[in-house]
Amino acid sequence: MAVNTADAVQQRSRERRKSLLPLLKKVQETEGYLSRETIRHISRTLRVSENEIYGVASFYPQFRFQPPGRYHIQVCLGTACHVGGAPNFMEAMKIERGLGHGQTTPDRRFSLEGVGCLGCCAISPVVVVNGEVYGRMNRVTFMRLVESLESPEKPS
Ligand code: FES
């Protein structure tokens, strides 16, 4: 009897974890990130520990734990863009703006994300800012783009 009860508890636990991923994806889509409050709420609702939720979410690079910046910069790190020098863009943001993958600047102007192939390899290396695609980028044009987004004409 005790075995059956343990099996049932494990089964319920598996089902709760199974529903976790689609739920996290939905929250990420609608809110742009997974806030502490949201994770706490999901934890209570599904009766899954917050640690477990963080464990699952941090395994997938698409999940963010900070709100996106006003300008969300996605650098394609797929093969064609990688070969074309896209990792230099990430490095430039780290060195020149102190911003790494999954981070947002303190003023919330920029957030940075390295992503997989965006499906436009013919114009690689590719960067996307708030859904707008910029192709055939190099480190100089990339940083010019970032600087243009910092200009005073663009209110934060
Ligand atoms: S590898 Fe970057 S768009 Fe395909």
- Is this prediction's pTM over 0.85? no
If one residue of 117, 128, 133, 137 were mutated to test the ligand 1 pocket, choosing by the most ligand atoms within 8 A of its CB, it would be: 117
121 lines ligand 1 (CB under 6 A): yes
130 lines ligand 1 (CB under 6 A): no
**How far does residue 153's CA lie from ligand 1's centre (Å)?**
31
Q: What pLDDT digit, counting tens, does each position of 40-90 carry?
A: 999 998 888 999 999 889 888 778 888 889 999 999 999 999 999 999 999
Angle between helix 86-97 and helix 139-150 axes, rounded to 10 deg: 40
Q: What pLDDT digit, counting tens, does each position of 139-151 carry?
A: 999 999 999 998 7
Buried b (16+ CB within 10 A) or exposed e, 86-107: bbbbbebbeeebebebbbbbee
Model confidence band, residue 125 (pLDDT cutoffs 50, 70, 90): very high
**How far does residue 59's CA lie from ligand 1's centre (Å)?**
22
120 lines ligand 1 (CB under 6 A): yes
Looking at the chain, the whole-number percentage of residues with pLDDT higher than 70 is 95
**How far does residue 79's CA lie from ligand 1's centre (Å)?**
6
**How far does residue 149's CA lie from ligand 1's centre (Å)?**
23
